[in-house]
Amino acid sequence: MKLFPFSKEKRITGIWQEARKIAELLLNIGSDEDVGSALMQSLELVCRLFDADRTMLWRNETRNDTLHFVLEYIWHSNRTSIQAEKSVHAGLAISYDERPTWERRFTLGEHISGPLSEQNQHDREALSGYGTKSFAIIPISLRGRFWGFLAVSDCVQERHFSQDEIDFLQTTSLMMASAVARVMMVELEILVNERTRELELQHSKAESANRAKSAFLANMSHEIRTPLNAIVGMTELALREEMSTAAREYNFAIKQAGANLLSIISDILDFSKIESGSLEVVNDEYMLTSLINDVISIVRTRMFDSRLRFLVNVDSNLPKAMVGDEIRIRQIMLNLLLNAVKYTEKGFVSLSVSSKENYHGGFAICIDVADSGIGIIKENLAVMFDEFVQVDAYKNKGIEGIGLGLAITKNLVSKMGGEINVESQYGVGSTFSVVLPQTIIGNEKFAIVNNPQDKNVVVYERRRDTEESIIKTMEDLVVRYTIVDSTSKYVNELNQNKYTHSFVAADLYNTIDRTLITHGLDVKTTLISEYGDVVADQSLPVLYTPIYSLPVANVLNYNHHSTQVSGNRVIGRFTAPNARILVVDDINTNLIVAKGLITPYQMQIDTALSGKEALQLIQNNRYNLVFMEQKMPEMDGLEVTKRIRELGADDRYYRTLPIIALTANVTSGIDEILLTKGFNDFLSKPIDTVKLNTVLERWIPKEARSGICEKKENAQKSLFDRLDIDKGIANSGGKEELYKEILAVFYEDGLQKIDEIEGCMASGDMNNYPIYVHAIKSAAANIGAERLSEAANALEVAGDSGDINYIQSNNANFIADLKALLDEIKSYL
């Protein structure tokens, strides 16, 4: 009959009632003679409680290569005839083959339990002679060393032991150990040692779990990033090809989804680093201008298809150069901005960057990110920065993310000694404010206008938020300005001839009748356009939104160049036809991606699908650079690099050859590990084209770029003073082949336009004259002939206004320049 024939809950209660009885027996022993009796009574209570057949206390006696256990005490129920009782009393010997497993498990305090049939072969063989069908073995330690174990044996049924039962047995084993220790008069010492050992075991297990988690994250990163590299890379290559609008949208969606997945992976890895305390803040000198430009470029690209307005206001008096962790500051800005974009359907997202003096006795930058999104309920503000939290989950259903961005941001800010706060009104919007201590370098400001007292700007812009950005910027730069809200006011202001610059919205500029503007005004007109819009008049410089201090200062300082936005990002900022590089990867798709991304640089590219093949190629050729996959079967990138460096004893080439690690493992410290293993640099997957360009610029030697390519460039600069080939190629999506096709068309059209323009001059046809020079104006700007485009623009304005004298005085020079340009084009083609 079972001792506890009722529910599990009540049985658990019963378990701990019996535990108290055992405690009274074992912890109140008066002399050595009482020990045996107390232990036997305890074993009886355990046996009855578990409805078992035997409970035993075994002592360890290790003999040479065998774990040998001596039976100290046994109590059995006589519920049924127990077989092999002699074997029990004869002892338990664990042979050499099983010893490492048993010894390690018992030393670590791990129990063994369950049906015998479910144990491994060695355990079944060791225990099969004892008539046991189920058992629980709980190790006992004294003075930090394995002493023996408490065993419960069931010879009738197969059963599993619950965690409550195991906990009870472990508690009982500890009390039995305490009883033995008291008899040995070392109770206090043993208890302290046991507690120390327990803490050490817990610490060891925690460290082991941490190592396992780190290894898992590293493997997860590599396994996910490897196919993601193919997806993102192939999509990038596809977007450079000619395709239908629908196909381009599909490919862009794939690339965006890949970027979102990559962001989630990075968040998980960052959170893991924060959780383990391994996230590092690396302070170094950086340029705030570059940081802001990078952030704006990324965010407005993400907002390209949205209805949101992106507003930026950067205090021009901020220092241009500072010391801080540029990467983490960029991450903070992007986390907050992209989070705002996700939760804002219409209206605006804004970034403001200013400074705070005497912040804890030093200088700090202030970052404010505001939006007109859904806002946050007051009750949810307290959990905004908790990990894996997405507030108002029902309303935000479908929004991508796992709720780590803000938690990571808060930890980064805290790690950098700053603070972050949020203010929000539900249904209206939110503002996140960050303050980060930084160190100032030098006195150069973020943006400054040369001789601002000599500048005067008239602004014609009807979008209220853009107008406000311009007003803030002008006041910040201490530049005089006038805002107008109609075409008539704009024309009247210009005709007063008191302005040095004119800022006008591109769509409004297209509606202005230029005949109303007095010809010959010395005013520089700059168009204002939404990011991604195509500007009809490409001869004028363009300010793309968001408008802020740096680009405005560049325009007013005459440092701004018109840049048309194309669907493809132009890469390959230089060419190096004399450079030879090797790309090593065991996955052919990755080789195709890498080769495609490097192709615009016009380098000689070799590929290898294994470390062995790479080593042979490197010994047979002289490369300027090697991209080496870190993880490969048989011979991985680390081993190949090691062997290459070992060849350097007799040949400097092997010691100095730049080897760049290609790795999908971006866990903390991987860069330092790679650099100590012979690599010169590393590039994470998926490959980012901007980072690729940075690596190539850093390691491709100048002499590799100074051969055929540089001679050709120098020849172009000396012969082609009317044609900016670099700008023309950039306007052609970075493809020289397409640029040459456009030049060929321009050449044929140019010859025709010369005849048409000269015909108009001969016949006095001033109606068609502006039309013909207008065609030259826009086409010349596209191919990089800025000077000719500006001349055509002046002649077009003169023709529209009826200024015959200006045309007669300048047309001959214009035709001469056009003919000279056509000669340059013919020479280039």
One-letter-per-residue 3-state SS of 527-594: EEECCCCCCCCCCCCEEECCCCHHHHHHHHCCCCCCCCCCCCCCCCCCCCCCCEEEEECCCHHHHHHH
Angle between helices 786-801 and 804-828 in degrees, nearest 10: 150
The percentage of residues in the chain with a pLDDT greater than 70, rounded to a whole number, is 74
User: By mean pLDDT, which of 140-144, 306-310, 567-571, 652-656 is the weakest?
Assistant: 567-571
pLDDT in tens, 126-160: 777 777 889 999 998 877 778 888 999 888 888 89
Predicted pLDDT of residue 377: 83
Distances (CA, A) of 232 to 124, 528, 597, 682, 686: 53, 33, 11, 19, 7
Which of these, 744, 747, 739, 804, lies nearest to 770 by C-alpha position? Answer: 804
Please check the confidence at residue 402 and state whether its pLDDT lies above 70: no
Please check the confidence at residue 758 and state whether its pLDDT lies above 50: yes
| Look-up of token digits 């381009």 | 248
- β-pair partners for 480: 456
User: What's the CA angle centered on 332, arms 326 and 338, to 5 degrees?
Assistant: 125
Torsion sign, CA atoms 549, 552, 555, 561: positive
Q: Token pair for residue 583?
A: 């790309």
Cis peptide before 686, with omega less than 30 degrees from 0? yes
Q: Three-state DSSP class for 512?
A: coil
Predicted pLDDT of residue 249: 60
Predicted pLDDT of residue 91: 60
User: By mean pLDDT, which of 236-240, 608-612, 626-630, 757-761 is the weakest?
Assistant: 236-240
The span from the CA of 53 to the CA of 132, in Å, is: 9
Candidate ranges 271-285, 294-308, 548-562, 746-760; pick with highest mean pLDDT: 746-760
pTM of the model: 0.46
Residues 471 and 483: beta-carbon distance below 8 Å? yes
| Look-up of token digits 């615009």 | 600
pLDDT in tens, 663-695: 766 554 566 677 778 898 888 777 777 678 888
Q: Token pair for residue 69?
A: 């256990």
Pairing of strands 501-505, 456-460: parallel
pLDDT in tens, 424-475: 888 889 999 999 999 998 888 999 998 999 999 999 998 888 889 999 999 9
Torsion sign, CA atoms 233, 239, 244, 248: positive
Q: Token pair for residue 31?
A: 């002399």
Q: Three-state DSSP class for 94?
A: strand
For the residues 593-598, what does the mean pLDDT come to?
82
Kindly write down the DSSP assignment for every residue of 754-783, as one continuous string: HHHHHHHHHHT-TTTHHHHHHHHHHHHHHH
- Name the band, by pLDDT with cuts 50, 70 and 90, for residue 569: very low
Q: CB-based contacts of 745: which residues, under 8 Å, 6+ apart?
A: none
Which of these, 488, 476, 522, lies nearest to 502 by C-alpha position? Answer: 522
- β-pair partners for 822: none
Please check the confidence at residue 370 and state whether its pLDDT lies above 70: yes
